[in-house]
Structure 1
Amino acid sequence: MQKRWKSAVMACMVAALPMTAACASTDTTEVPASTSSGVAISADARTGRGEVMRTDPGLDTWAATLPDGTDITRIVYRSTSGVDGAATAVSGAVFIPSDERRPDDGWPLIAYAHGTTGISRDCAPSDRPDMFGDLGAVDDFLRRGYAVVTTDYQGLGIRTGESAAHPYLEPHTAAYNVIDAVRAARSVEPSIGSQWFAVGRSQGGSAAWATAEQYADYGDDTGELLGVVAVAPLLDATYLVRNAQDETLTVAQRYLYPLLVQGVAQGAEQVTPADHLGAGVTPALSCSSTGTALATQPAPPDAEAFTAVTSAAADELMDTVQSYALPREHTEVPIVAFYGSRDDIIPPDVMQLTLTRACDVDDRVLRVRREGQGHSLDPGSMMAKWMSDRLAGQVVPSDC
């Protein structure tokens, strides 16, 4: 799972961003994560979870890249908004390996959650010839005998019709989208077995972690979630808001911050982007014909351009981002989290403190630090081994 995962992630989140040699100093006193339970789910949303609303063929570029015999279906399925509990339409794709190798008990499934692409409808990986680089990861998973379902997340996708906006990093929405993708995948392909994993990087790592926390309440009838793989997960972005007020955002963080502000505002009407993005900050919200919105951001101004206009505005944004922070509650689902010692988006001291909170709520977490690697780190062969061990029923390792 190493080479192709690595080639895929190099196109993910920050591969196109200038990286500085060292991280700005951070306040290592983390704001505790909110324990908010989210909004009530409407009856309409709950009864329709995972219903497939539309199917389309896979793209020709996918078929040319993936192993011969791969069955590919693009889908639009019903899910739930974590912002208001209403039913939503979300796009994604289902990939099934050649039937010649199907296990007797069905294909184990990977629900794959992508990293930050953008926050507008034209930023869905399932509408792109290379899935913004994630096609390599899908290829690797298929070759290792997994079926794969991907979600574009609520608000990203041109095949969904008019849909609710993308609430960037809102954990309930992300978890519901991942879990309902599993329901949809089984509806499309009965050969998928009962065991599955949630795997994601950066924004997707947060989505996968949220999936673990919401599985007990929302994941009924999806089978057995054996584990979560979170690679450089953006679990708690409060440090970015704090760094913006302290004028200590790194260059890489300044590329991300406009998308964070705009994306959070799409799910929280109390946040006004103009209060946080000064003169000269004109972020690219849409994806281009060749790249993500993140990769095509204009060169950011100096750090002082991102301080809030008032302390009240800063507090409002901080409170909202804090309400999205993970970990927030105990999960029985085992998790392995990979992070880099030279990550200029999520400094390692921030990641270490965030992961410590998972231990504080008695999660079973294995924390793996990759020395010398940054945000687009390669988890290496340990990722594949950890997953195969879960399939084999091995004892779950934890370093909490």
Structure 2
Amino acid sequence: MQRAVGAAAVGNITEWFDFGVYAYLATTIESNFFPPGPLAQIGVFAGFAVSFLVRPLGGLFFGPLGDRIGRTKVLSITVIMMAVGTFLLGFIPPYSAIGIWAPILLVLCRVIQGFSTGGEYAGAMTFIAEYSPDRRRGFFGSFLECGTFIGYALGATVATVIPLISSPEFASTWAWRIPFFIALPLGIVGVYLRVRLEETPAFQTLLSESEEREGTQASAGIKMLFTKYWPAMLTAGGIVMAWNIPNYMLTSYMPTFLKEDVTRTGGQGIDATSSEITQIIILWAAVFIIPALGMLSDRVGRKPLMLTAAIGTVILAFPMIYLVTLGSVSLVGLSLAVMAILLILFSATSPSTLPALFPTEIRYGGLSISFNIFVSAFAGTTSLIMSALVIGTGWAYWPAVYLIFGALAGLAALLALRDPAGKPLPGSNPAVSTPEEARELAASGHTARG
């Protein structure tokens, strides 16, 4: 179980390391890859968003493939693709050297990253969920999001520290590229850990029940998803929106909002270093809180924590953004901390909730397709949409409106959700972690794996 968690989380660290670096170096990327002008910031966020446009394609390709040939094989491919795309981005010459080819090559690297990510996160959720015992799935699943926050915090930390310890000239030419180069060794570690793991028990059982599983048509699983499991896909989509809109708001848009857009709307900003350090502290704190919330969800259920987050976001969205515009480091820290707490209530519970919406034979595909469609349409474009609206209208509270929109979608989905805490995954035998649990199940007439 520990090896499985580590192998899944390291891929997420690689993925979010890139996002952290990109978000914190947005102004540097803007000056290096785009011509000067008012549309340069929009171009940076369009480069961020383009990877999300291809994520559903990656989900359509890797998800059904993972249901056919296995989780570990596909996850080994996706993590190295993500690392290579990030690594190559660090070699792109600036706009001053190659002109329009600079943003074009940036987009191509983002396409590679987005396509691989389409199969990465949903596969990692599937992988950990199928390895976890039923009564501790919330705890083990939460470590996937620890990987998210570790990766992002590492990226943000490296992107913040390197300019501080290097000369201005080196910082603007080569120092900012170093974080992108770090992604490749991270990816190699991820591949090494994943290829050494056996397939999940649930998938091994599926293979033993159908020796011709590898030869089945991927289109059959996709057809089943859209004809029989579309309610599950909509439920997953609502949870994904409530979870990932604040996720990308906090991690991708807030760094730029605090540096540039607050003053454009008449608010008072704080200096860039204080903003970055505040966010990094919050991200590292979240790493240690998330497992505790995952453990709590195994005891009280997933829905109570998710409902608290969704309702809290509706109530607190406008106050959070108001505090951000006051120009006080302490109030900005308070606002971002509240946003982070509401976010991690979803982060700690969603990785163990979403896999329970689909049976084993279509779990990877169902998660990949539904997760990436809704992330791409509503969450990954958060920075682009918010930047365009805030700059275009001069109104600072569009982030609050969008947070409420996501929370309401989550509330609608939670009304249809049956709390999966402590229950076997659909299509799988009960899974236990102790002899006592096994004896309880045996006494009740169930069989278990463990």
More helix by percentage: 2
TM superposition score category, shorter chain reference: under 0.3
Please report the TM-score for the alignment, with normalisation by the length of structure 1. 0.27
Greater strand fraction, Structure 1 or Structure 2: 1
Greater Rg by CA? 2
